A and B are shown apart, each in its own frame.
Chain A
Amino acid sequence: MFNRDQWDEILESLSSNWFRTIMTAFGVFWGIFILVILLAAGNGLGNGVKSNFSGLATNSMFMWSQPTSISYGGLNKGRRYNFKIGDVDAIKRNVKGLKIVSPRNRLGGFGGDNNVQRGLKKGAFNVYGDYPQIIEQQPMDITAGRFINQIDIDNERKVAVIGYSVVNELYTADEEILGTYVKINGVNFQVIGVYEKKGMRGQDVEEASKEIIVPFSTYGKAFHTGEDVGFMSITADDDHTITELKQEVFDVIKKRHRIAPEDNRAVGNFDLYQQFKKINGLMTTLNAVAYFVGILVLLSGIIGISNIMLIVVKERTNEIGVRRALGATPWSIKSQVLSESIFLTIIAGMAGISFATGVLWIANKYLDQIESDSIMFADPSVGLGAIITALLILVVSGLLAGFIPAQNAIKIKPVDALRTE
């Protein structure tokens, strides 16, 4: 169907009225442009939100203790209690489908007193007592040295892994970091590694990396928390969601701490999975809206092409009559109209996609420059898949746009076509 002659015919007839051809093409150009931009914007929003989750084990929850709200077993309500290290094993034993249960302790932090000291320099940082597996739940890049390991835990080593923001505040440039000591609440820890929190953009990383991680066991000894656990970070395995397992976890805790089974306030939690699902749902909706609006705009472009093709066919009635007198089959006339319409649609569509891609490229450059603002918008782009989909849509659109005009072109008898001037 597509030999060189057919191309010549298409180009010849399209170029016989450039102005109209371009005006016709503009509708589809604009439609696909809007579609791509909308999809990209949806993606950008998605990327922005997801970058806040990236690397994070999203099938997780955080859990902390709160004062009880119901008196139970002879104990008054409003009683404060602490998770104990024994709870961790009990949870692992009793709740099937969990992947990681990390007990954590924390002291100090932003807005608090200066709790960390190195020589004359001081700073206020979050200090965590952790197990090595925490790195699977909270994404971080080890930029120097190593992370804490089981031996550190077993031997209660006084070692610390520090966030790079800590380095910025307590060290001068070019200073050797590994092997030096920092004093946390008066206790000396040797620095064995530096890390950067992953997945957060700009300033967030700066703030989020104002942390120090020490072995959980050492923390207990050094800061006299003993068996106490401040909070837990719990991740479910791939066959379960944390949302469906968390009640079982709470039940274990309640049983071990003599809390009323119906007391819903005693165990505080933040369900990351639920949040993540909500945001995903929002993204899906946004994408659907983008497709819907984009396709409607595109549709109006297609109707435009169809309309103009109808006029073109009408104008060329006589030419079509002549061609048929010279031996053009109905199909050759039809395919001529269809291929003109498809060609026009695809060219206009490609131009629209290219233009949109250019606009996105510029937008991305601009966004990179203002990256510091923790805006919920990142890397607005459309994948190859979306482009291919768009092209398919275009071919189908071209066919649709050309269908009625092509049908009209051969509806009229050759004699009647020749008679029209």
Chain B
Amino acid sequence: MIKIENLHKSYQTGANSLHVLKGLNLNIKEGELVSIMGSSGSGKSTFLNILGILDEADEGKYLLDGVPIKNLSEKKAANYRNKFLGFIFQSFNLIGYKSAIDNVALPLYYQGMKRAERLDRAMQYLEKVGLADWATHLPNQLSGGQKQRIAIARALASDPKVLLADEPTGALDTKTSYEIMNLIQEINDEGKTILVVTHEEDIAEMTKRIVHLRDGVIIKDTPVQQKRALDYV
């Protein structure tokens, strides 16, 4: 599903150049649930953003479901993000003046789907994350956990090939974190490929594979015996 070869990325800050990713190689197959770990500043978000086509690598190869991601026009990039990728952020990033259901329907709006159909689809995903009753609520009327569920529903709405989650539980307490991880596991059980960036050991253990990053290189890449989040809530 994802194939990375010799990926490099540096940031230019004034006269200095900061080499963040120094030649990553990674293969992720369909249906995998992978966590990416590493200390702060090790380049996890940078890596995930490149995978999400929000940023571009300086060097290296990136194939997403067999499609080479290189020198895309902004329009094409937008199209790929919409079709192939779903994003889950630490700070949820819901649009504050839109109701839950409208937030979930937004990726479908950018697909050009008709309003009625869109809301129908959005409602299905709200049901899936257990928040159908909250459809018309604004984000600021929801708890952190609920917001993240809405965000997950939104990421799923366009039925992407890969979900990318950057510290999805970073802003949540332990109990809520496990609930969110349970939801992510369920979605993975249905076959969706998911990448989760985290620095919490217990969260990483709930995935099926842990990739360790340090100083811009992958130092460890190990499959793990998945712990079911449901056992801890």
Interface residues of A (CB under 8 A from B): 4-5, 12-13, 16, 318-319, 321-332, 410, 413-415, 418, 421
> What residues of chain A lie closer than 8 Å to B96, measured between beta carbons?
16
Is the Cβ of B54 less than 8 Å from the Cβ of A326? no
State which of B54, B75, B98 has its C-beta within 8 Å of the C-beta of A331: B75
Is the Cβ of A328 less than 8 Å from the Cβ of B55? no
State which of A13, A318, A321, A332 has its C-beta within 8 Å of the C-beta of B110: A332
In angstroms, Cα B96 to Cα A318, docked, is 11
Q: Which of B31-39, B76-84, B202-210 contacts A (4 or more CB under 8 A)?
A: B76-84
In angstroms, Cα B78 to Cα A318, docked, is 16
Is the Cβ of A327 less than 8 Å from the Cβ of B78? yes
Least Cβ–Cβ distance between B182 and chain A, in angstroms: 24
Is the Cβ of B79 less than 8 Å from the Cβ of A327? yes
In angstroms, Cα B110 to Cα A329, docked, is 8
Least Cβ–Cβ distance between A419 and chain B, in angstroms: 9
Taking A5-B109, A16-B97 as contacts, is the C-beta distance between A326 and B49 under 8 angstroms?
no
Would you call B146 an interface residue if the criterion is a C-beta within 8 Å of the partner chain's C-beta atoms? no
Is the Cβ of A12 less than 8 Å from the Cβ of B97? yes
Is the Cβ of B115 less than 8 Å from the Cβ of A4? yes
Which of A5, A327, A415 is the most central at the interface, judged by chain B CB atoms within 10 Å of its CB? A327
In angstroms, Cα B106 to Cα A5, docked, is 11
Would you call B125 an interface residue if the criterion is a C-beta within 8 Å of the partner chain's C-beta atoms? no
Taking A16-B97, A318-B93 as contacts, is the C-beta distance between A414 and B54 under 8 angstroms?
yes
> What residues of chain B lie closer than 8 Å to A324, measured between beta carbons?
54, 78, 81
Interface bits B148-191 vs A (CB < 8 Å: 1, else 0)? 00000010001000000000000000000000000000000000
Q: List 22 A-B contacts (CB under 8 A).
A: A12-B97, A13-B97, A16-B96, A321-B93, A322-B95, A323-B95, A323-B110, A324-B78, A325-B54, A326-B87, A326-B110, A326-B158, A327-B79, A327-B81, A327-B107, A327-B158, A328-B78, A331-B75, A415-B49, A415-B54, A418-B89, A421-B91
In angstroms, Cα B98 to Cα A382, docked, is 42
> What residues of chain B lie closer than 8 Å to A321, measured between beta carbons?
93
Least Cβ–Cβ distance between B71 and chain A, in angstroms: 15
> What residues of chain B lie closer than 8 Å to A319, measured between beta carbons?
95
> What residues of chain B lie closer than 8 Å to A413, measured between beta carbons?
54-55
> What residues of chain B lie closer than 8 Å to A16, measured between beta carbons?
96-97
> What residues of chain A lie closer than 8 Å to B107, measured between beta carbons?
326-327
Assuming A326-B82, A326-B107, A330-B78, what are 8 further A-B pairs, CB within 8 angstroms? A12-B98, A318-B93, A327-B78, A329-B75, A329-B78, A329-B110, A413-B55, A418-B89
> What residues of chain B lie closer than 8 Å to A13, measured between beta carbons?
97
State which of B55, B82, B115 has its C-beta within 8 Å of the C-beta of A327: B82
Interface residues of B (CB under 8 A from A): 49, 52, 54-55, 74-75, 78-79, 81-83, 87, 89, 91, 93, 95-98, 106-107, 109-111, 115, 154, 158
| Chain A contact residues, majority secondary structure | helix
> What residues of chain B lie closer than 8 Å to A415, measured between beta carbons?
49, 54-55
In angstroms, Cα B82 to Cα A321, docked, is 13
State which of A323, A330, A418 has its C-beta within 8 Å of the C-beta of B106: A323
Taking A5-B115, A318-B93, A413-B55 as contacts, is the C-beta distance between A326 and B75 under 8 angstroms?
no
> What residues of chain B lie closer than 8 Å to A329, measured between beta carbons?
74-75, 78-79, 110
> What residues of chain B lie closer than 8 Å to A4, measured between beta carbons?
115
> What residues of chain A lie closer than 8 Å to B55, measured between beta carbons?
413-415
Give the top 8 A-B pairs by smallest Cβ distance, nearest first. A327-B82, A327-B110, A16-B97, A329-B78, A415-B55, A414-B54, A326-B107, A415-B54
In angstroms, Cα B79 to Cα A219, docked, is 94
Taking A4-B115, A325-B81, A326-B154 as contacts, is the C-beta distance between A418 and B93 under 8 angstroms?
yes
Is the Cβ of A330 less than 8 Å from the Cβ of B81? no
State which of A322, A327, A331 has its C-beta within 8 Å of the C-beta of B93: A322
Least Cβ–Cβ distance between B65 and chain A, in angstroms: 16
In angstroms, Cα B74 to Cα A332, docked, is 11
